[in-house]
A = this chain, B = another copy of it.
Amino acid sequence: MRGISIGMDVADIDTPALCLDIEAVEANIKRMADYARDRSVRLRPHAKTHKSPALAHMQLEAGAVGITCAKLGEAEVMAAAGIKDILIANQIIGAPKIARLVNLAAYTRVMVAVDDAANVADLDAAAGVKGVRLRILIEVDIGMNRCGAAPGQPVLDLAREIVASPGLRFEGVMGYEGHTIFLEDVNERMERTEAAMQLLTDSAELLRREGIPVEIVSAGGTGTYFITGAHPGITELQVGSYITMDSQYGGLERIDFAYGLTLRASVISTRGDDLAITDAGLKAVTRDFGLPLAIDPPGWQLTALAEEHGFLSRTDGPRLRPGDKVTIVPNHGCTTINLHDNYCVIRRGVLEAVWPVAARGRTY
């Protein structure tokens, strides 16, 4: 119902509109792929960020070995779009989801995280009934205190369960250093990430010493990719946000991807010269970890988001009037993208394509 047509000028796209600067996205994809190639670490980008098969295929063409998903529903969307190698980096629990998982395994090389022996038994039984062999990574808690088996003996015990399960194929271990990714002090970020990676690679070494082959040791986030990817023994990176680059990464040292995701909004009301109200509130852009960054016109700051409205305050920018358009960079792309049905794909100021956020809402 929104009046947009391919070939139109970006300035004419009605708002709120989630836009991809496709040249910036292409550059980000290439930069991370080049990094991984140079370091001989495999790249398995996290598709929870973009939820788009088109973008996933671009990452694969640039050299990624597969993709990572957060949810089974995302993996189903990606498999249906022809993606052939998918890690679901979470626990898949309960009979209905496990039934979907083993059926998905008939269409794609699917791999899933586990941290619990009862879940291992359930997965094994379902794989046996379906006649597939599920690929398994043990999630190790490397300091985030969320999911994951504790490093050391618990990981070894779980690995032995998996190795003894005929329906399962033990592939390796994974961890997520979510507790270090946003540390502003780059030295602290490096030190604590190294420590987390050491917990993960030590777990892998323990298994190998016990005669259990470990093919995959996977971790990584956009704020730590250059630390995790360089750590001896890490074989795969599961980075996500780098593809579009959030403003929450903007201030981090050594993270210099280009802003590829913007939200275009319109001023719908003004109060004097210094406050402008936009049509983009919390249903169009999130503030989970901080406010988005207003970038155009210069001299205006986004100071608040209500449910249906954004608040812009003037520092030294031009006067705005109702109907004027503004551009902001989401602070958290993953959750912002999940609010929208489509991307407007922009190249050099022209709407080149409209791509569905195909896995939007697939939390299940």
Interface of A with B (CB < 8 Å)? 1-3, 12, 14-17, 48, 70-71, 73, 76, 90-91, 93-94, 96-97, 99-100, 115-116, 118-119, 141, 145-148, 178, 266-269, 271, 275, 277, 279-284, 286-288, 306-309, 311, 321-323, 332, 334-335, 338-341, 361, 363-364
Contact = CB atoms under 8 A, between A and B. Distances in A.
B14 A146 contact: no
B283 A116 contact: no
Contact of A307 (B97, B269, B277, B288): B288
A328 to B, nearest CB: 14
Listed from nearest, the 3 A-B pairs whose CB atoms lie closest are: A147-B269, A91-B268, A14-B96
Contacts of A279: 71, 90, 93, 363-364
Given A14-B94, A335-B282, A322 B268 contact: no
A363 B115 contact: no
B322 A14 contact: no
A79 to B, nearest CB: 11
Interface core residue of A90, A119, A266, A322 (most chain B CB under 10 Å): A322
A287 B289 CA distance: 11
B73 A146 contact: no
Given A97-B14, A363-B280, A119 B309 contact: no
A269 B116 contact: yes
A71 B307 CA distance: 12
Nearest to A147: B269
Contact of A100 (B3, B48, B282, B363): B3
B322 A118 contact: yes
A268 B99 CA distance: 16
A277 B2 contact: no
Contacts of A100: 1, 3
